[in-house]
Amino acid sequence: MTTPDRASRSAVSATARLAPAAPAAVGETGASSPGAMDRFGSLNVFVRAAETRSFTEAGRQLGISSSAVGKAISRLEGRLGVRLFHRSTRSIALTPEGAIFLTRCQRIIGEIEAAETELALANAEPRGRLRVSMPMVSTLMMPVIGAFMTAYPDITLDIDFSDRMVDVIEEGFDVATRTGDVADSTLITRTMGAFRQVIVGSPAYFARRGVPTEPEQLREHACLQHRFPTTGKLRRWPLSRDGETLDIDLPTVAIVTAVEPLILLAEQGLGLVCAPDFTVRARLAEGSLVAVLEPFLDSPSAFRALWPSGRQMSPKARVFIDYLTEHLFPAQASATAVKAQLP
């Protein structure tokens, strides 16, 4: 028999907490129709006996006699109509049917433990170290992050600002935030908000170079381009007219692997940049940047949170994602909340 791993032993203990008295009831009272809790107790007795390969040791761990273990196993075998163990005076060994049943029981008990963990996490206070990967838009993010730190002082943020596609699991991140689609079965994704690309420049730049009103006029302007650090490709400016994609050869004056420096260059009047609307929202509101060619940019994308699929989301990660969603995309978060309250 394959020795069970530590996780399965931990899961078994969860079931023992659910029905600590069940093994004794099944083995010693002679009840002919054990209820659901008694069945859980019987499964727990069986798994303990299979793991320890000893009725005596299983009884010691469960706090019942070895004879109670034997009787519980016998009743379980009678109910199932199969023999689960080969017994001798010195040892026990699983039958082929018993080995199959053990695998199923461990899976069931693992689900019980997962449910217990989920409930415990739901009621736990968010605290501890939270390792996060975020894109290089710290000017946008830092006011929100600062407010989050004030709201949740028991959470210690460990943030890596990078536009590269990090390996969330291998690099030990609790959460990563990224734009666009993510095709990775090892990660769970949650859409925090939708955004559009906008082309922006400073008032001083437009005063010198004029305001483009047609996409083709970009050939007469200075363009600041973003290069994806992982692939080395330039980000495409999603221009279209009447549903048809426009492929325009843009005159490039600078290429940078992060969006934020490009925004700063545009703010200094050095060219036009195509960037997510939420990264320039404040600058547009204050007038340091102006958007152009908006009717030709209609390619919405998503800002997403990612975390490992095999890991239950912790309270600290949940409140962090909720907080960013509410403050980076307030209008969308409010609309979602109102929709959720409708009958």
Q: How many CB atoms lie within 10 A of CB 302?
A: 16
3-state SS string for 266-281: HHCCCCEEEEEHHHCH
Region label for 242, one of left (φ > 0), alpha (ψ between -120 and 50) or beta (otherwise):
left
Q: What integer pLDDT is reported at residue 88 of this predicted model?
A: 87
Region label for 293, one of left (φ > 0), alpha (ψ between -120 and 50) or beta (otherwise):
left
Q: Identify the three-state secondary structure at position 241.
A: strand
Strands 301-308 and 244-245, by their bridges, are unpaired
Q: What integer pLDDT is reported at residue 299 of this predicted model?
A: 76
Q: How many CB atoms lie within 10 A of CB 313?
A: 17
Whole-angstrom distance, CA of residue 115 vs CA of residue 120:
9
Task: Extract the tokens encoding 3.
Answer: 């020795």
Please report the domains of the chain, with CATH numbers, ordered by start residue: 38-123 (1.10.10.10), 128-192+302-328 (3.40.190.10), 194-300 (3.40.190.10)
Of 58, 62, 47, 43, nearest to 5 (Cα)? 47
262-305 confidence digits (pLDDT tens)? 999 999 999 999 999 988 988 999 999 999 999 999 778 888 99
Strands 187-195 and 244-245, by their bridges, are unpaired
Q: What angle do CA 284, 289, 291 make, to 5 degrees?
A: 75
Task: Extract the tokens encoding 182.
Answer: 């993510």
Q: What integer pLDDT is reported at residue 164 of this predicted model?
A: 80
Q: How many CB atoms lie within 10 A of CB 321?
A: 20
DSSP code of residue 168: T
Strands 290-292 and 197-201, by their bridges, are antiparallel
Report phi then psi at 151, rounded to 5.
-75, -30
Task: Extract the tokens encoding 49.
Answer: 């006996």
Q: What integer pLDDT is reported at residue 176 of this predicted model?
A: 94
Q: What is the pTM of this model?
A: 0.58
DSSP code of residue 20: T
Q: Which residue ranges in the chain fall short of pLDDT 70?
A: 1-37, 121-123, 138-139, 332-343
State the alpha helices, DSSP H only, in the chain: 6-18, 22-28, 36-52, 55-62, 66-80, 96-123, 138-151, 203-209, 259-267, 281-286, 315-328, 330-341
Region label for 255, one of left (φ > 0), alpha (ψ between -120 and 50) or beta (otherwise):
beta
Q: How many CB atoms lie within 10 A of CB 278?
A: 19
145-162 confidence digits (pLDDT tens)? 999 999 999 999 999 988
Whole-angstrom distance, CA of residue 28 vs CA of residue 335:
60
Q: Which helix (H) or strand (E) holds 304?
A: strand 301-308
